Amino acid sequence: MRADAPKRAADYAPLAFPALMLTVFFVVPFGIMVMVSFFQRQPGGFYTPDFVFSSYERFLSAFFGGVLGFSLGLAALVAVICVAVGFPFAYELARTRRRVQVAWLVALLAVLSLSEVIIGFAWSTLLSRTAGISNLLVWLGLMEKPTALTPNFGAVLTGMVYQAFPYTVLVLYPAMARLDPTLMEASRTLGAHPLRAFLTVVVPALRNTILATFIMVFVFALGSYLLPQLLGRPQHWTLSVLITDQAVYQSNLPFAAAMAVFLVLVTLSLVGLALLVGRKESAA
């Protein structure tokens, strides 16, 4: 059933409070950040109101372009891994007994209670040479001597996937639980292999959910800045790390604001793309 379209100004009253909160906590801070990005930086960490493009011109350099490309690629890789692993995991979880579902959901929520700092130091210990996983591999005879597995790109990727995976499952799980089980039964009755039925029935039926989950994890990973510092080398730092460095340690707030504005625009573009794709599929 579709609700009637608003016809009077009073029909928009329920939107007043969300619009006020969005204006106060997003539009105003984002507008201030855009203004600061055009300010002129002065020696000693100060800046004066102006309208210059020096911060954006610096952002277009090869170094920061490389950091931007690495950040986008890393966030996309984290999103692909989380969706590829989380989708079948959530599908099987939705079809287990209720008691098992509750246990797994509590475990995932427990992971969400951990801060990024705790996750980073925990993985740093697990991947270290003195008390890490390599000691277990040596004890099992799979390695000759303990080896430090951090800092490197694999450690950064592992930590970020670990942090984003609970969000992935918790977003996919409600859609999986509502999926009509007769779809799979019908396809298997017609002779389809379970894997083929999963790929040709379940995946297309939840295409919009998969896209929304991918974008959510991508945006979440794009904003991560502690794990790349704790588990990676400087060449593995993301754009969020450089924003913090410019704002806190270099006292270059206009440049940090310019990079933050770009990240917000990338995020909004992805959300807009997801809405456009969803609208086209609904109209089809």
Distance separating alpha carbons of residues 201 and 212, to the nearest angstrom: 18
H/E element holding 41? strand 40-42
Does residue 1 surpass a pLDDT of 60?
A: no
Looking at residue 2, what is its pLDDT?
54
Looking at residue 281, what is its pLDDT?
60
Mean pLDDT, rounded, for 270-279: 73
Which DSSP letter does residue 193 get? -
Looking at residue 164, what is its pLDDT?
94
Looking at residue 102, what is its pLDDT?
92
Give the count of alpha carbons within 13 A of 122, CB side only.
12
* Residue labelled with tokens 């002065």: 42
C-alpha to C-alpha distances, 144 to 29, 70, 87, 139, 155, nearest whole angstrom = 55, 34, 37, 9, 21
Query: Sorting pLDDT into bands at 50, 70 and 90, what band is 188?
Result: confident
Per-residue pLDDT of 238-251, as tens digits, reads: 888 888 888 888 88
Does residue 4 surpass a pLDDT of 70?
A: no
Does residue 113 surpass a pLDDT of 90?
A: no
Pick the closest to residue 198 from 94, 269, 117 (CA basis): 94
Does residue 10 surpass a pLDDT of 80?
A: no
Looking at residue 208, what is its pLDDT?
83
Query: Sorting pLDDT into bands at 50, 70 and 90, what band is 146?
Result: confident
Per-residue pLDDT of 42-100, as tens digits, reads: 777 677 888 888 888 887 778 878 888 888 899 999 999 999 999 999 989 988 999 99
Q: What is the mean pLDDT of the chain?
A: 84
Does residue 181 surpass a pLDDT of 80?
A: no
Looking at residue 85, what is its pLDDT?
95
- Phi, then psi, of 42 in degrees rounded to 5: -110, 155
Distance separating alpha carbons of residues 256 and 36, to the nearest angstrom: 9
